[in-house]
Amino acid sequence: MATRIGLRFSRNCLRLVCGLLGVGVLGLAGCGGSGQNGPPITQPQVTVSGGAQVRLGSTAQFTATVTGETSSAVTWQVNGVNGGSAAVGTISAAGLYTPPVTIPAANPVSITAVSVAAPTLTGSANELIWNPLPAVTSAVVSQNYGATSGLLTVMGTGFVSGSQVQAAGTSQTTTFVSATQLQATVPLGTGVATVSVDVVNPDPGGTTSTVASAQVQTSLESASRLLDQATFGPTLTDIAHVQTVGLQGYLNEQFAMTPTLEPDIATPPPALCATNTIPCQQAEWWQAALTAPDQLRQRVAFAMSEMFVISTNSDNARAVTTYQNTLVNDAFGNFYTMMKDVTLSPGMGAYLNMLNSAKPGTIGGVLQIANENYGREFMQLFTTGIDMLNQDGSPQLDSNGNPIPVYTETQVQAFARVYTGWTYATASGGIPANFPNNTPNYDAPMAAVESQHDMNSKTLLNGTTLPAGQSSSQDLTGALTNIFNHTNVGPFVCRQLIQHLVTSNPSPAYVSRIAAVFANDGSVQAVRGNLQAVVQAILLDPEARAGDANPSPSDGHLREPLLYMTDVMRGLGFTFTGGGAGTGAEYYNSPGNYTTALGEKPYTSGAVFNFFPPNYVIPGTTTNAPEFGIENTAAAILRLTLADNLVYNRITDFSVDLSATSALGMTASATGNATTDSTNLVNALSNIFMHGQMPAQMQTDIVNHVATLTNIPERVRVATYLVITSSLYKIEH
């Protein structure tokens, strides 16, 4: 051996020459050192054997046979490089060749064995590298509601950048994500539930996987956005459920659900509200908002409570509980029923003074008029508004370009007289002997004392006249029917419902479509005022769903403080830990203590105009945005404080786990790579709070910030804080 490698320079020289001479040349005499020490008996040579090709992702075993040398030992090269390289593949000392990650530019590669005993003695074989065998382990199609295509994600093995997804046998433009994931946008017919999927890998070695079935499910974006619009806040569980059952499926489930009603406050009241029953009523509201399964019904009832406003500022809390249950019960019923139930509720009666409104006339020698409060506000705020509307919600104008009033002061007085004669029902719900009945019955609809009802004729809207001599109930039915059938009611009510559930600035066409459903639900009976149909139409309208793909500039509405609170609490998974936890006697009232400073607490509006007016315009703009009526530089600061309390687990009687062992904490620390973990954390928060639609710049800013935090709970808290204090989150869109 020493004699053969004695000439160091020549060895180097020879190796270079052999490499340059390349592949497939066995037993090159000029390199073999022949002519030394006499003629050999057999020509020494190295022979390499192994398969002619290998697939990416697998390996090939080579063997070298050395003849004519004392040692059979060899070293291995790939394309002349000892041991190979990442670019051309590597080969072990035992000749096990591992191809590179992707097919190299020069294919095949040369596998060379070099004799250890005689380094100038080499043997080579060409190895052609093939694409791997693709295999599909799972596939799913994520489809935005109403879209004609969906995003197919194929999970499996053996994928390469040229892999082609076939859906129902047709090739699709395919995005290579990784060797285990491909994506493609695939066309979907209406109602398609599954798509057959396979993957074709290209030559060299091109093959097709077996066919798998991809379930078509609703996209996270659609599912989460719907839940944001239709509930008190998406949870990951609910999102996954809606992705499975679809938007319509979810709505159907919700429509069918038993209403969650608030129990009457006990008599005597529990300790929490021994001296003031309001906290008990509020506790029930929060509990239903945070935990009730019939979320859509509760959310619609909440919207209605911001249109048909009453308040514990002047109402007994027991009456408010009854009232809330009325709205919950009627949320998916007919609007006429809601009008009537609201009108006769003791809560509304006391709030807008239909309760105990006596017929006008000379009383004690003094001429008195009928109380106009309910007569006016029932039209102005609850049903018709002041000005005549087109079906799309825009005002009708007279020949001078001025709005046209819906009613006159005289008509207000006529309605005021309609609503006379009502007082609290007796304990058994009957008609009391006295007027006013000063023994409250907060549960039963008000009862009429006919002697206190104005029986003169009344001229109502559109010239409709109620004849003289009608009873309280006859007049009430006549008046409510008169208003219910006014053409303003559909656009007036539907536009506000859209504003509460979906967007502050619906297009006129959107309002018009929903008002059309209000006028006629499309059933055989052509029902007017079908709220279930209206709610469904609002939520599934193309304008409501357009943001599932891309938000438009005018999208969305500000999360009012109550909905902000419930959304964060539900999203992060706050649980009740206060007194009575798990006993059925929990009192969930404390969240209101945190929203009060921001201008909201359930059923505490300062006036019948709600916490904010539906026509509020952002100062300095022409943008209608109701919730901005309570968003200002003071409220913005207070919301930052609320966010701090939320992420710092400081909500009295509630607890949230944002520790290192929580779901978010584990996401935030899974790999130990700060950037990777922070990215995954922020993506998880985007899924919970922003429908997976966080803009890239926001994501980058937050990741860059929290990646510097090594304390995992702090990383989770700060990332969460930055998400929930951003305007992009505060504006639900």
Partner 1 sequence: MGLNRRSFIKYASLAAAGNAAALRPFGALNALAQGASSYKALVCVFLFGGNDANNTLIQFDTAGYNNYSTIRGPLAIPQSQLLQLSALPNFALNPNLPDIQTLFDNKNAAFVANVGTLIEPTTKAQFKAGTDLPTNLFSHPDQQLEWQNASASGSTSTGWAGRIADTLNASYNPGASVPMITSVAGDTLFCNGSASTPVSVSPGNLSGAQCSEGTTECNAQKATAQALLSFDSGLTLVQADNSITSNAYNYAQTLTAATQSVTPLMTVFPANNALAAQLKQIAQIIQVRAALGVTRQIFFCGIGNFDTHADQLALQNALLASISPALAAFYAATVEMGVQNSVTTFTMSDFSRTFQPNSNTGSDHAWGSHHIVIGGAVNGGQMYGTFPTLALNGPDDSGTNGRWVPSTGSVQYAATLASWFGVSTAQMPSIFPNIGSFSTANLGFV
Binders of partner 1 in range 275-314 (CB under 8 A): 313-314
| Separation between Cα atoms, residue 426 and residue 438, nearest integer Å | 10
- C-beta neighbour count of 641 within 10 angstroms: 12
Q: What is the DSSP string of 48-77?
A: EE--SEEETTS-EE-EEEEESSS---EEEE
User: If binding is defined by CB under 8 A, does position 399 make contact with partner 1?
Assistant: no
Pairing of strands 465-466, 557-558: unpaired
Closest CA to 196 of 251, 233, 152, 231: 152
User: If binding is defined by CB under 8 A, does position 558 make contact with partner 1?
Assistant: yes
At its nearest, how many Å lie between partner 1 and the CB of residue 474?
A: 20
User: If binding is defined by CB under 8 A, does position 618 make contact with partner 1?
Assistant: yes
Binders of partner 1 in range 414-443 (CB under 8 A): 420
Binders of partner 1 in range 481-510 (CB under 8 A): 504-505
Paired strand residues for 185: 151
User: If binding is defined by CB under 8 A, does position 398 make contact with partner 1?
Assistant: no
User: If binding is defined by CB under 8 A, does position 459 make contact with partner 1?
Assistant: no
Residue from the set 634, 652, 659, 661 that interacts with partner 1 by CB under 8 A: 634
Binders of partner 1 in range 145-174 (CB under 8 A): none
User: If binding is defined by CB under 8 A, does position 353 make contact with partner 1?
Assistant: yes
At its nearest, how many Å lie between partner 1 and the CB of residue 475?
A: 16
CA torsion sign, 224 to 228 to 234 to 237? negative
Binders of partner 1 in range 376-395 (CB under 8 A): 376, 380, 386
Binders of partner 1 in range 579-598 (CB under 8 A): 597
At its nearest, how many Å lie between partner 1 and the CB of residue 538?
A: 19
Binders of partner 1 in range 109-128 (CB under 8 A): none
Residue from the set 156, 246, 556, 561 that interacts with partner 1 by CB under 8 A: 556
Bond prior to 204 in cis (omega within 30° of 0): yes
Paired strand residues for 557: 732
SS3 248: helix
CA dihedral 59, 65, 66, 67 (to 10 degrees): -170
| Separation between Cα atoms, residue 1 and residue 120, nearest integer Å | 12
Q: What is the DSSP string of 591-611?
A: HHHHHGGGT--TT--SSTT-S
| Separation between Cα atoms, residue 630 and residue 159, nearest integer Å | 54
User: If binding is defined by CB under 8 A, does position 657 make contact with partner 1?
Assistant: no
| Of residues 35 and 364, the one with the C-beta less far from partner 1 | 364
Cα 296 versus chain centre, distance: 14
User: If binding is defined by CB under 8 A, does position 210 make contact with partner 1?
Assistant: no
Name the segment binding partner 1 (CB under 8 A); options: 41-49, 50-58, 199-207, 349-357.
349-357
Radius of gyration of the chain (CA): 38
At its nearest, how many Å lie between partner 1 and the CB of residue 205?
A: 47
User: If binding is defined by CB under 8 A, does position 369 make contact with partner 1?
Assistant: yes
Bond prior to 293 in cis (omega within 30° of 0): no
Q: H/E element holding 3?
A: helix 2-5
Binders of partner 1 in range 695-724 (CB under 8 A): 695, 697-698, 701-702, 705, 708-709, 714, 717-718, 721-722
DSSP E strand boundaries for 440-574: 447-448, 458-459, 465-466, 557-558
Please tell me the count of residues contacting partner 1 according to CB under 8 A. 91
Residue from the set 128, 609, 660, 683 that interacts with partner 1 by CB under 8 A: 609
At its nearest, how many Å lie between partner 1 and the CB of residue 309?
A: 12
| Of residues 5 and 617, the one with the C-beta less far from partner 1 | 617
User: If binding is defined by CB under 8 A, does position 404 make contact with partner 1?
Assistant: no
User: If binding is defined by CB under 8 A, does position 637 make contact with partner 1?
Assistant: yes
User: If binding is defined by CB under 8 A, does position 625 make contact with partner 1?
Assistant: yes
The 3-state secondary structure of 535-556 reads HHHHHHCHHHHHHHCCCCCCCC
| Of residues 245 and 617, the one with the C-beta less far from partner 1 | 617
Residue from the set 15, 299, 340, 359 that interacts with partner 1 by CB under 8 A: 359
User: If binding is defined by CB under 8 A, does position 341 make contact with partner 1?
Assistant: no
Q: H/E element holding 343?
A: helix 335-344
Closest CA to 344 of 456, 450, 444, 464: 444
The burial class, CB within 10 Å (0-12 / 13-18 / 19+), for 633 is exposed
User: If binding is defined by CB under 8 A, does position 367 make contact with partner 1?
Assistant: yes
Residue from the set 204, 360, 508, 578 that interacts with partner 1 by CB under 8 A: 360
SS3 505: coil
Beta carbons of 547 and 733 less than 8 angstroms apart: yes
| Separation between Cα atoms, residue 71 and residue 80, nearest integer Å | 21
CB-side neighbour CA atoms (13 Å) of 434:
5
DSSP E strand boundaries for 221-303: none
User: If binding is defined by CB under 8 A, does position 132 make contact with partner 1?
Assistant: no
| Of residues 632 and 671, the one with the C-beta less far from partner 1 | 632
User: If binding is defined by CB under 8 A, does position 80 make contact with partner 1?
Assistant: no
User: If binding is defined by CB under 8 A, does position 691 make contact with partner 1?
Assistant: no
At its nearest, how many Å lie between partner 1 and the CB of residue 441?
A: 18
At its nearest, how many Å lie between partner 1 and the CB of residue 694?
A: 11
User: If binding is defined by CB under 8 A, does position 540 make contact with partner 1?
Assistant: no
At its nearest, how many Å lie between partner 1 and the CB of residue 386?
A: 6
